């Protein structure tokens, strides 16, 4: 989603800002812009489309020492140059870049217009520079604080004053900002990846804090005016600049990284002899685990699908009632929070506004919530305090692949711990631990020989509708397969539990409609075969993802994609792989921008 980068120091700001914008491209955006201190004023350029277009446009721009820049993902107002950030006050002397949403912007806009202010864009953000201007009497901090008293909503913002080119003001409320401290130069970004090539010394601004950033350092205070401290840490080497390592796209690279990323999610956690696992970050001993009487997984999109799989595994292996909930719905339905319930907030980015909102609701009602997060130091991780890092490493492609399988892996490890305190004997626990331990190798084995994905992609790319079906653990996999295909190839498709097909979606089937059956060998296999025959009777083409050696399904299907054999709770780690490849290859056939699909953002920081 939107990205912020700011620089102040002895070097030329412009190339550093453009590099920072490039790094954040993976987050998804539709326009970009930059504002630099220049002569006695500000120099501003914006463009619709890719950062590359902006980069061309600013060639020969001024060599000055402070500036702010932004990639915008439209929320309020269309994708136009006028709506791109930075936004300026009427005198063009105060520039603001902003992530988040100013919820009362309509009211503020009307009030400003009544005072004679002319606004140039349709955005919620533009009220900020005008409000700051209104309260500016020579003290930038006082003006920003006064303006923010009027604004309601979420913000991570950077402000550059033409009158004060030696400082950048940053404020955070619900939208992440990281400050990078280099040698005589400082940076600000909404994403640590954007600062890491320049410095590894960073500090995360907390909610309702304001920072005055200069080339020599930073001074932080709260919005209430109290002193605050920025905790400086050295950023993890995981954030090293992303490299394609010979792959054509990040999505493909990340798909093929899964044997390693799943191994990382398991490393140091499985206790093979004890038939158990240890997740230090949960800080729960067996007695605490035994106290958990229900588990609720919260998440959005792919993370919600991982949560569904995790909840099914907990019910199957630990016999603890468990469910997954879509975070954006959960937060607004006045949920019942019980003392003996454990909530897990699942998020790759750790910055998803809906998931943070759902966590907030749990916390307000006195519940216990922990994070299952990929990005270290992200907001979910920090506000939950306890939880599990999934350690998939930075995921650059917008569509989540390796983070999904790492989330599932981490949830299965949690399941083993819960199950061992009640339903699983030592030998059963050992069997689960050893099954999980074997999964990275099985994933590698499948990826080495992925089956006829090219043919499947050909059928899918030609189709106007695709149906994904699965039962039990394979239903969330079907949902995830359909989500990936929509995201990457923009092909209309949907996923159903196989048994529901005859209750409606069967009407969509015609000759050659591709139907993707996720049907590994499990308790539901016989039923899956009946559904498969029903589909074929309507002339549809069946692409079956099944356990290798299952000759009956292989022979029935129009296209057979075998995956290695495993226990049903672990099967999503394998059956999801062909669906990721299918989406990727279908997207390529249709000429899509697979790493940066249209309209999507990597971390969705607005509701
Ligand atoms: O960062 P999160 O895991 O919280 O993100 C949740 C969803 O926005 C995300 O999974 C989304 O569905 C992806 N585009 C999936 O590829």
Is residue 365 annotated as a catalytic residue, yes or no? no
What count of residues does the chain have?
607
**According to the model, what pLDDT value does residue 242 have?**
66
Q: What is the pLDDT of residue 41?
A: 95
What lies within 8 Å, CB to CB, of 478 at 6+ separation is 468, 469, 470, 495, 496, 497, 516, 518
The least confident of 122-136, 499-513, 547-561, 590-604 is 590-604
Walk me through the domains of the chain, giving residue ranges and CATH numbers.
2-239 (3.60.20.10), 242-446 (3.40.50.10490), 449-607 (3.40.50.10490)
The pLDDT mean for the chain works out to 93
- Residue in 352, 397, 476, 576 to alter for ligand 1 test, most ligand atoms within 8 A of Cβ: 352
304 close to 427: Cβ distance less than 8 angstroms: no
Q: Whose CA is nearest to atom 16 of ligand 1?
A: 399
Q: Decide if pLDDT at 424 tops 90.
A: yes
pLDDT score for 423: 85
Nearest CA to ligand 1 atom 4: 347
For the Cβ of 301 lying below 6 angstroms from any atom of ligand 1, the answer is yes
- In this prediction, what percent of the chain has a pLDDT beyond 90? 81
What is the arrangement of strands in the sheet containing 493-497, beginning at the earlier edge strand? 493-497, 466-470, 514-519, 541-547, 559-563
Is the per-residue pLDDT at 425 higher than 60?
Answer: yes
pLDDT for 214 beyond 70: yes
CB 185 within 8 A of CB 11: yes
The residue whose C-alpha atom lies closest to atom 12 belonging to ligand 1 is 301
Check residue 393 and give its pLDDT.
87
- Which pLDDT tens digit goes with each residue over 382-398? 888 899 999 998 898 99
Measured in Å, residue 600 CA sits from the centre of ligand 1 at 10
Verify whether ligand 1 is closer than 6 Å to residue 604 (CB atom): yes
Q: Is 402 annotated as catalytic?
A: no
Which ligand 1 atom minimizes the distance to the CA of 349? 1
Q: What is the pLDDT of residue 2?
A: 86
Give per-residue pLDDT as tens, 63-77.
999 999 999 988 788
553-566 residue pLDDT tens? 999 999 999 999 99
pLDDT per residue as tens digits for the range 452-479: 999 999 999 999 999 999 999 999 999 9
pLDDT of residue 256: 97
Percent of the chain past pLDDT 70, that is, above it, reads 99
Given strand 155-161, what is the order of strands in its sheet? 87-88, 94-99, 155-161, 168-173, 209-214, 217-222, 227-228
pLDDT at 311: 98
Per-residue model confidence (pLDDT) at position 182: 94
pLDDT at position 273 is 96
How much is the average pLDDT of 173-195?
Answer: 92
CA 198 vs CA 20, 193, 194: distances in Å: 10, 10, 9
> Mean pLDDT, to the nearest integer, of 15-38?
91
Query: Mean per-residue pLDDT for 364-382?
Result: 90
If one compares 486 and 375, the residue with the highest pLDDT of the two is 486
* 80 in Cβ contact with 116 (< 8 Å): no
CA–CA gap between residue 312 and residue 318 (Å, rounded): 10
pLDDT over threshold 60, residue 524: yes
Position 402 pLDDT exceeds 90: yes
**Residue 48 near residue 79 (C-beta atoms within 8 A):** yes
DSSP of 325-393: EEHHHHTTS-----TTEEEEEEESSS--HHHHHHHHHHHHTT-EEEEEESSTT-HHHHHH-SEEE----
**pLDDT tier at 239 (50, 70, 90 boundaries)?**
low
pLDDT band at 59 (very low <50, low <70, confident <90, very high): very high
pLDDT of residue 526: 83
pLDDT digits over 485-503, tens only?
999 999 999 999 998 988 9
Do the beta carbons of residue 477 and residue 304 sit within 8 Å?
no
Catalytic residue among 46, 442, 596, 602: 602
Q: What is the pLDDT of residue 517?
A: 96
* Ligand 1 contacts CB of residue 603 (under 6 A): yes
Atom of ligand 1 at shortest distance to CA of 604? 8
| Ranges 15-19, 292-296, 596-600: which has the least confidence | 596-600
421 lines ligand 1 (CB under 6 A): no
């Amino acid at each position: 989603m939107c990205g912020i980068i700011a620089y102040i120091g002895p070097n030329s700001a412009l190339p550093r800002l453009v590099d920072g914008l490039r790094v954040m491209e993976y987050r998804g955006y539709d326009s970009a812009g930059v504002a630099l201190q220049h002569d006695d004023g500000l120099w501003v350029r914006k463009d619709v489309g890719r950062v590359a277009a902006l980069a061309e446009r600013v060639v020969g721009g001024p060599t000055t020492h402070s500036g702010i820049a932004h990639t915008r993902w439209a929320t309020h107002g269309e994708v136009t140059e006028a709506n791109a950030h930075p936004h300026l006050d009427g005198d063009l002397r105060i520039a603001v870049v902003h992530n988040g949403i100013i919820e009362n912007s309509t009211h503020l806009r009307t009030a400003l217009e009544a005072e004679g202010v002319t606004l140039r864009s349709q955005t919620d953000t533009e009220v900020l520079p005008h409000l700051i201007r209104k309260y500016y009497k020579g003290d930038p901090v006082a003006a920003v604080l006064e303006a923010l008293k009027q604004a309601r909503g979420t913000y991570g913002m950077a402000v550059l004053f033409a009158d004060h080119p030696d400082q950048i003001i940053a404020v955070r409320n619900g939208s992440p900002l990281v400050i990078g401290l280099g040698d005589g130069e400082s940076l600000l970004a909404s994403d640590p990846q954007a600062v890491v090539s320049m410095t590894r010394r960073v500090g995360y601004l907390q909610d309702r804090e304001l920072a005055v950033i200069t080339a020599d350092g930073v001074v932080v205070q709260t919005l209430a005016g109290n002193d605050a401290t920025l905790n400086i840490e050295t950023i993890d080497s995981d954030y090293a600049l992303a490299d394609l390592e010979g792959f054509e796209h990040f999505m493909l690279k990340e798909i093929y990284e899964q044997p390693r990323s799943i191994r990382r999610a398991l490393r140091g956690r499985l206790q093979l002899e004890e038939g158990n696992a240890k997740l230090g970050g949960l800080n729960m001993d067996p007695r605490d685990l035994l106290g958990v009487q229900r588990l609720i997984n919260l998440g959005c999109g792919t993370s919600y699908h991982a949560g569904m799989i995790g909840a099914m595994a907990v019910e199957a292996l630990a016999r603890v009632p468990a469910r997954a909930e879509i975070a954006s719905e959960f937060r607004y339905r006045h949920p019942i929070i019980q003392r003996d319930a454990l909530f897990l907030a699942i998020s790759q980015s750790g910055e998803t506004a809906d998931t943070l909102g759902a966590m907030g609701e749990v916390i307000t009602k006195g519940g216990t919530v922990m994070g299952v997060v990929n990005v270290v130091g992200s907001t979910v991780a920090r506000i939950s305090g306890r939880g599990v890092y999934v350690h998939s490493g930075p995921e650059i492609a917008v569509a989540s692949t390796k983070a999904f399988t790492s989330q599932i892996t981490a949830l299965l490890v949690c399941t083993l711990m819960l199950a061992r305190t009640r339903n699983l004997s030592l030998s059963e626990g050992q069997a689960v631990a050893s099954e999980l331990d074997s999964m990275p190798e099985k994933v590698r084995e499948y990826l080495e020989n992925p089956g006829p994905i090219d043919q499947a992609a050909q059928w899918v790319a030609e189709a106007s509708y695709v149906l994904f079906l699965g039962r039990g653990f394979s239903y969330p996999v079907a949902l995830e397969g359909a989500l990936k295909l929509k995201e990457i190839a923009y092909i209309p498709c949907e996923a159903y539990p196989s048994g529901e097909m005859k209750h409606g979606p069967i009407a969509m089937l015609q000759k050659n409609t591709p139907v993707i059956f996720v049907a590994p060998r499990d308790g539901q296999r016989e039923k899956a075969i009946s559904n498969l025959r029903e589909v074929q009777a309507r002339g549809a083409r069946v692409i079956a993802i099944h356990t290798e050696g299952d000759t009956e399904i292989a022979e029935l299907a129009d296209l057979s994609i075998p995956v290695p054999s495993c226990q049903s709770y672990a099967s999503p780690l394998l059956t999801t792989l062909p669906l990721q490849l299918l989406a990727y290859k279908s997207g390529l056939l249709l000429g899509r921008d697979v790493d940066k699909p249209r309209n999507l953002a990597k971390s969705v920081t607005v509701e």
